[in-house]
Structure 1
Amino acid sequence: MRLAFSTNAYLSFPVDEALRRVAQAGYAGVELLADVPHAWPAGLLDVQKQAIRDSLDATGLAISNINAFMMNAVADPRQPYWRPSWTEPDPHYRAIRREHTKRSLQLAADLGAPHITTEPGGPLDDFPTRRAALECFYAELMPCVELAEELGVGLLIEPEPDLLIERFDEYLEFVDRIDSPRVGLNFDIGHAYCVGEDPQDWVAKMAPHTVHYHLEDIAATRVHQHLIPGHGAIDFAATLREIAATAYDGFLTVELYPYGDQPDAAAAEAFAFLTPLVEEARLGRNG
């Protein structure tokens, strides 16, 4: 297990500077934001992709994931992070999400990234029934699944509070109808905690589906507000022990986008808190 940090905390910096700062904080990997100002796929030239490759080489960072969840570039006034969604009532508007996902998959292939993450459908009230919303999500997602298979890139669904798929059982029910080895789970431990699913209790059950982890803390109120690990109520020691017990050997990406005013301090504090816990979990498994 290795620690990575998401560039969505560095929206005030160009991508090369964001990568430099993530590496300086000690992380081995970086989650690249497929959005402005870092790597919005619709406007990314080949020379810009090469510049990202050069920055990765210069910093020694590996790409842990490409975050195609956020869509600040669209500047939707309803919600700047995950609108437009997969379940927009207007088919032309939800096509923006579908095509963005396709471009992000191609970006991952171009940069050698293993997978991208996407939202788990849209807000619960966009369709008259849950079944209709799930059918819409499935229909929009499947062309992206086909492209993911063609490119050899993972397409990871990330359950999110207040969106169509919030809980792990809902995720399992949805993906049961998708027959693709390229579709997997982005296990966000903070999101799980928000919906009453303490992450340490779900790691083993979801391990066959989990391809990547997001880490952030959440207050004891379970309100969805990302906090620096150690500032909330999540039992990180227990969760990391459970992850290590599954023999997971990928990245654990810290996602702290609310700390855009002080990203360096947040990244450094998270790294200092998590590093000994990761090492302890690793030693416990090997011991």
Structure 2
Amino acid sequence: MKYSFSTNAFRKYDIQAAIKAIAALGYSGVEIMCDIPHAYPPLTSAKTRKEIARVVKELGISIANLNAFMLYAIGDTWHPSFIEKEEHKRRQRIEHTINCLYLAKDLEAKSISIEPGGPVIGVDREWAMGAFLEAISELTPIAEKLKVDVLIEPEPDLLIETSGQFLKLMEKVDSPAVKLNFDIGHFYCAFEDPARLVHQLAPYTGHYHLEDIAPSRVHRHLIPGEGAIDLKAVLAAIEYSGYDGFITAELYPYEDRPIEAASQALQYLTNKKE
């Protein structure tokens, strides 16, 4: 099992300091946030991209994934989304995603993770699904050319929340470059059993996000072991499935104590069988 940690918990650190801290804790991978203050593509020069690649190589770790979900540089976690009413806002999200694909190519990352459409606010759900599929159809030729996968990440209260909705969406997507970012906590929030979903979704899964969630199933990421998910069962299912990619601990609510959160998460993950 290969574990990585997302830099979105290290928003008070610059990107190189975040990567170094994650490597020093013992993680073998890092997920890089494609947003301020880390690697927002328009602000990440060719020189900075080379520096990031150099640091990662020197530390002997890998880039597990690029997180293209959050977009505080021009909005917030979800906005602008792929399903905004205003066309120019939809274009902003699409252009950002394209930029992230090229950043991934430069950093030799194999995938980027994206929001599953966005919040369905002020638009018809059927129209929103069409808008999202239209965006995906624009992204896929670029992803295929660059050999970078686009991973859709279902999330509570967004267009795609459940495994069933994701699978239905994939019936309309004709590209091997479009896959799933399997967020364990998100499926739990949607009242699904992540351990049971691992096998069903394995053909689509390109990367995992891991966090714990309270028994209430309220969507707030917790350090593994502090919530109600049977993470040991989920990890056992992942291992049994033969998945050989990274599992990334994503604990962005802990930006005031990211070292502590990352350390506790890795301790839990490496002792999961005890």
Q: TM-score, normalised by structure 2?
A: 0.98
Task: Give the superposition deviation at 1:195.
Answer: 0.6
**After the TM superposition, which segments of 4 or more aligned residues of structure 1 sit over 2 Å from their partners?**
none
| 2:122 pairs with one of 119, 122, 126 | 126
Cα deviation for residue 37 of structure 1 reads 0.9
User: Is residue 2:146 matched to residue 1:142?
Assistant: no
Q: Does 1:110 align with 2:106?
A: yes
Mapped partners of 1:61, 1:42: distance in 2: 25
- The Cα of 1:204 is off from its aligned counterpart by 0.7
Residue 55 of structure 1: how far off its partner (Å)? 1.2
Deviation at 1:276, TM superposition (A): 2.0
Following superposition, the deviation at residue 229 of structure 1 comes to 0.3
Cα-to-partner distance string for 1:163-203 (whole Å, 9 max, x where unaligned): 00000110111111111111000000000000101201111
How many residue pairs end up in the alignment? 274
Are the counterparts in 2 of residues 184 and 211 from structure 1 also a CA contact under 8 Å? yes
Structure 2 SS opposite 1:161 = coil
Give CA deviations for 1:178-237 in whole Å, capped at 9, x if unaligned. Answer: 111110000000000001012011111111111100000000000000000000001011
The structure 2 residue matched to 1:188, chosen from 180, 183, 187, is: 183
Which residue is 1:6 aligned to? 6
Q: What aligned pairs does 1:76-91 form with structure 2 within 5 A after superposition?
A: 76=75, 80-91=76-87
SS in 1 for 2:248: strand
Letter of the structure 2 residue corresponding to residue 12 of structure 1: K
* Structure 2 segments unaligned to the other structure (5+ residues): none
Q: Take 2:180 and 2:84, find their aligned partners in 1: how far apart are those partners?
A: 22
Instruction: Say if 1:5 and 1:254, in contact at 8 Å, map to a contact too.
Output: yes
Counterpart in 2 of 1:34?
34
Aligned CA RMSD, in angstroms, stands at: 1.0
- The answer to whether the 8 Å contact 1:87/1:126 transfers is no
Q: Does structure 1 conserve the Cα–Cα contact (< 8 Å) formed by 2:11 and 2:37?
A: yes
Secondary structure, aligned partner of 2:151: strand
Partner residue, 2:94: 98
Structure 1 unpaired stretches of 5+: 282-287
> 2:88, 2:191 → 1: CA distance?
35
CA–CA distance in structure 1, aligned partners of residues 63 and 154 of structure 2: 21
- Counting aligned pairs with the same residue, the percent is 47
Q: Distance in 1 between matches of 2:2 and 2:125?
A: 37
What residue identity is the alignment partner of 1:46?
A: A
CA contact (8 A) 2:83 2:120 kept: no
TM-score (ref. length: structure 1): 0.94
